Amino acid sequence: MTKIKKDLVELMNRYKELEFIINKSPVIVFLWKNEENWPVEFVSENITQFGYTRDEFLSGKIKYSDIIHPKDLERVKIEVAKYSQSDMTEFKQEYRIISKSKETIWIDDRTFIRRSNSGEITHFQGVILDISDIKKVQQDLEESEKKFRGISEQILIGIGILQDGKILYVNKMAEEIFGYNMNEMQTWDEGEFVRTIHPDDLERELEYIKTIQTDPNVNEIQFQTRGIKKSGDIFYADAIFKKLTYNDRPALIGMFIDISEQFESERKLKESEEKFRQISEQLLVSVGILQDNKVIYVNKKLCETFGYDYEELTSWTFDDFHKVIHPDSIEEEIKLIEQIIQDNDQQEIQFQSKAIKKSGEIIWAENLFRKITYNGRPALLGMFIDITEKKEAESALKLTQFAIDHSVDPAFWMDEKFQIIYVNEALCKSLGYTREELLSMKGFDLNPTYPKEAWRPTWERIKEKGSIIIETYHQKKNGVLIPVEAYISYLQYDNKEYNCAFAHDISDRKKSERKLKESEEKYREAFYRENFYKDLFTHDMRNILQPIRTSLELYEYESKNKMELLHDRDFFEKIHFQIDRATHLINNIKKFSEIESFEQSLEEMNIYQLLQMNISNIQKSFKNKKTLIKLEPNYQSNYLILGNELLNEVIENILLNSIIHNDNDEIHISIGILKVIKNQKAYIRIDFSDNGRGIEDSRKKIIFNRAYNQDKSTIGMGLGLSLVRIIVGKLDGLVWVEDRIPNDYKQGSKFIVLLPEVDC
């Protein structure tokens, strides 16, 4: 008991010491019940700093919610409810309370949540601290910053604040100058502001920033620089950087004035004189300036035009002009130039004249003299264009007009209202009208068979394309229609639109076309007749072969128990074989006709089933030959292709080829099927391998050609393999032949067929 009592006394002493510390500190301790309006179970004595006593709270006279500012109370309740529903054990709030003297006080509240063993909240333990002074400082800072921003947003200087390599603030003018908004720039990483600096100025500008940041003697730096806008445009600016303290830490404030227009004006001003000289020197117009009765400037073109050098011409006075003026017009030209110099009201004069070069060559010139002010004093600007070629062109144009007037082909021009404004002699002669009659007509009067409402769309088509060639008709004065081929061009001259047409009489050509059409019809009739004869041949040959086959079968039936049949069996087998070959040849001819004349419809087919059916048919046809046909794999699989009944011809012809061209007592044919990829496309590959005679390398490339075998004495493959190539090609497949045993064709052949696989 003595020890417990001693410990209890020590604990009480510590509690009193702690209570003393709390009561002497600015921090006030509360313990509230988790009940409505938060009744207080404990509050430290230093609550008196807000004018209240402990007893007022502990007696229940005042609840904690009573001292919370009315405008903050609802928010505080919502936040406490939200924190209570979470798993949090403590939370922080800032709000206002009302002191007993009605003074508003900002407090920082750190609250700890007490829960029972069952998890229910019983109490809130809070530690509150008066932060009114801090809030006032913050408000003063915010007000100061607001004033700064208000002023900043009104001035025409771009302003930005840079701290720790990041942009904290820019005003509207800075946003306009750089093209970025403040939100964008505030998200940039440290140092990313350099994207606004021209690469050529970057090193210099970063050195300036480093200097003002590190040198205590440098508080401000000013320079001209180039910046890059968000759009990529380059601008020029006067920049000033100053040190300042922002949020209690060192920073830089940058001020920028966009001087691009000023810089551009100065640059243009400096370049203007040079540009004048450069342009003047490159002009195709001769330029000279006369001032105080002297030639003070000439460009290179003027020197070239008249054949004098610069020094010669700039040593001339007004009286020396007679050297370049043609004698026929010298008096008149000198008078015109003197007139513009002396007449204050006349500012310029323009005329054409002949001139003489230094070499004595005569040229035509377009002359323009204009009064100007040069170096602050009156002067006369002279400009001269060599129009010799133009004069020659005008002469050539007159010759062209003469040629069109006397052209063999009729020609006429129309305006945009279809009024005929020009006709040549050939059109008058062709149609039997006089020139006056045609010029009173519209374009559609020449061809009354062409609907009037179609002329405007035709005009627009010619305007769009520039020119067209059409076949139409012209009607003569006597009513006869002439077929013509018209070449019509769209022209625009002096803001007016025209159609210019040349018409060529094609009566003879039309007669030839009619004859050609009649010839084509005769050819078509012959083609149909050839098909008729081909069908007739197929039909009649089958009628001829069928009785022979029937007779043989009857003879075999009647003589099957007789010895003579055994003696003649080989002979009859050969006859049967030749009949089969003839029948197959006829079928192939018929198939060629079908496959060349129309496209077969395609459907999904299983190649494995087709092979089985054709193997069965072939074995029935060759009962007297020992033929072994092996299909691998020996089980049905999903080998799907797109085809039609003509695929049977492919399989049958390849199998027949392997049997017919095989001299062995036992004929072996192996058929393999597999799926392959060729050129990124899926195929079904079918290999037909036999032990027949084989095919020499020189014949492998031509056996699928229709007329490959020119030596008629040689036993060929007939039309069958040609048919195979055509059918496989129409199915987007491939077919070729190889040696069954590589490099030894005598060991048999391998025919390979690739057909596109159907996507499953």
User: pLDDT digits over 225-279, tens only?
Assistant: 999 999 999 999 888 999 888 887 899 988 888 888 877 766 764 565 566 667 7
Beta bridge partners of 250: 245
Average pLDDT, the chain: 81
CB 367 within 8 A of CB 285: no
**Model confidence band, residue 714 (pLDDT cutoffs 50, 70, 90):** very low
Band (715; pLDDT cuts 50, 70, 90): very low
Check residue 160 and give its pLDDT.
86
Residue 656 has pLDDT above 70, yes or no: yes
pLDDT band per the 50, 70, 90 thresholds, residue 69:
very high
| 27-33/40-43 β-pairing | antiparallel
Helix, strand, coil content of the chain in percent (nearest 5): 45, 30, 25
* DSSP tag of 57: H
**CB within 8 Å of 290: residues ≥ 6 apart:** 296, 318, 379, 380, 382
CA distance linking residue 530 with residue 453, whole number of Å: 49
Contact status, residue 141 vs residue 233, Cβ threshold 8 Å: no
Instruction: Give bridge partners of residue 220 from the DSSP assignment.
Output: 242
Summarize pLDDT for 151-179 with one digit per residue, the tens.
556 667 888 889 898 998 888 888 888 99
Where is pLDDT greater, at 386 or 143?
Answer: 386
C-alpha–C-alpha distance, residues 652 and 265, integer Å: 90
Closest C-alpha among 130, 113, 112, 135 to residue 122: 113
Dig out the tokens for 55 from the structure.
């007893």
According to the model, what pLDDT value does residue 756 have? 94
Q: Give the pLDDT band of residue 373 (cuts 50, 70, 90).
A: confident
For residue 312, is pLDDT > 60? yes
Q: What is the pLDDT of residue 744?
A: 94
pLDDT value of position 257: 85
- Give the model's confidence band at 22: pLDDT under 50 very low, under 70 low, under 90 confident, else very high: low
Question: ω into residue 633 within 30 of 0, thus cis?
Answer: yes
Question: What percentage of the chain reaches a pLDDT higher than 90?
Answer: 22
- The per-residue pLDDT for 197 is 92
Q: From residue 280, give the alpha-carbon distance in Å to each of 49, 290, 307, 350, 357.
A: 91, 15, 17, 20, 21
Classify residue 3 by burial, with Cβ atoms within 10 Å: 0-12, 13-18, 19+.
exposed
Burial environment of residue 414 by CB neighbours within 10 A (0 to 12, 13 to 18, 19 or more) = buried
Secondary structure in 3-state letters for 563-589: HHHHHHHHHHHHHHHHHHHHHHHHHHH
Higher pLDDT among residues 33 and 132, named by residue:
33
**Cβ-proximal residues to 406 (8 Å cutoff; 6+ apart), any chain:** 424, 425, 426
717 pLDDT tier (thresholds 50, 70, 90): very low
Ramachandran quadrant class, 466 (left: phi over 0; alpha: psi -120 to 50; beta: rest): left
Report the pLDDT averaged over residues 475-494. Answer: 87
pLDDT of residue 75: 93
Matching residue, tokens 């390599």: 165
Residue 11 confidence (pLDDT)? 54
Beta partners for 604?
642
> What pLDDT, on the 0 to 100 scale, is given for residue 15?
47
Residues 6+ apart with CB under 8 A from 65: 37, 38, 73, 77
Instruction: Write down the pLDDT at residue 568.
Output: 56
Pairwise pLDDT comparison (753 vs 621), residue with the higher score: 753
Q: Strand, helix or coil at 238?
A: strand
Please answer whether residues 716 and 704 qualify as being in contact, where contact means their C-beta atoms are separated by less than 8 angstroms: no
pLDDT reported for residue 402 = 77
Edge-first strand order for the sheet with 377-386 is: 294-298, 286-291, 377-386, 362-374, 348-356
pLDDT reading at 369 higher than 70: yes
**What's the pLDDT at 676?**
93
Return the pLDDT at 381: 87
pLDDT at 382 over 70: yes
Q: Tell me which residue has tokens 């022979």.
A: 548
Greater confidence, 217 or 528? 217
Tell me how many degrees the CA angle 200-205-209 measures, rounded to the nearest 5: 160
